Copies of this chain bind each other. A is one copy, B any other.
């Protein structure tokens, strides 16, 4: 039976990336060697790193005064790198979920943190509005997509100070005006590639603001000045990410995938709205994520939640259990998720409703 992979991350990748990664693991470009066993300083791997960097630049239309880096440790490592590099006096953060909170916790080790707003009191079921970015902050940090709660900041904010965005779970899902950001970063394991590597798109002038002495591997400059090859990078993850971005380019790039993402999320949100069994967990329709669709059963059907999960599993639907802090269901519908799989989920919701 075909599996429909709604995992929140690591998550569905393009079949192209999966098949080509498997080939490269056996024999990279006919070299007789596996991508697992070639030197990161070899011509073959340099070509992979160059293509991965160029693809990310092209796909997001990254201006020339920005550097692109592949960084160890996922977004969590950058939660501490950001204040280590850039928090000299005070930083401002918007608290929109568990990942924002973790980023804030790391920042507090390095200096003063001004949390401009938080929706924690409502289990982060909306994106706070009406806050002000302090003009004296070293930077303003946001989490654009909140995987657990199904909310998303879908526009590029104007900020008087460098805007830093954790875009782990919505990077490459929609066009962005990169020039509005100082740093766009995240873990790769949603729309870029598999787990094992993080990325950073950083305005070069921001790098000049680094004054604190710090460990080599935590300085953004170590990555930007050495083409992400100061030490051995996560070669196979970068190879697979390159292939997945090549797939995205070949399917029309970010504008084309954005249209599909809107269509895909609308299909599911419309069914949640229509179906008498289900309701969204997001308070404001405008805040609903196009990447992670969170929903629960209406109170009168609550006792059926586990049973619907079993029914969905019988249809090949995988990974829709909601995070424990929200409950219910979460369908992660990243770039590589075909609309046909969402239709399978929608059909299961309809069928289950008809059965009751």
Contact = CB atoms under 8 A, between A and B. Distances in A.
Interface in A170-215: 187, 189, 193-197, 213-215
A214 B80 CA distance: 9
A211 to B, nearest CB: 14
A144 interface: no
A233 B109 CA distance: 24
Contacts of A197: 196, 234
A328 to B, nearest CB: 17
A34 interface: yes
A32 B32 CA distance: 28
A318 interface: yes
Contacts of A13: 34, 36-37
- One complex includes copies of this chain to the number of 2
Nearest to A233: B195
Given A73-B72, A76-B231, A232-B189, A37 B5 contact: yes
A231 B42 CA distance: 30
Interface stretch (A20-28, A250-258, A274-282): A20-28
A8 B232 contact: no
Interface stretch (A60-68, A120-128, A235-243): A235-243
A238 to B, nearest CB: 9
11 contacts: A3-B31, A5-B37, A10-B232, A13-B36, A19-B26, A37-B194, A72-B74, A76-B231, A102-B216, A195-B235, A236-B236
Which 4 A-B residue pairings sit nearest by Cβ, starting from the closest? A80-B215, A196-B234, A72-B73, A36-B194
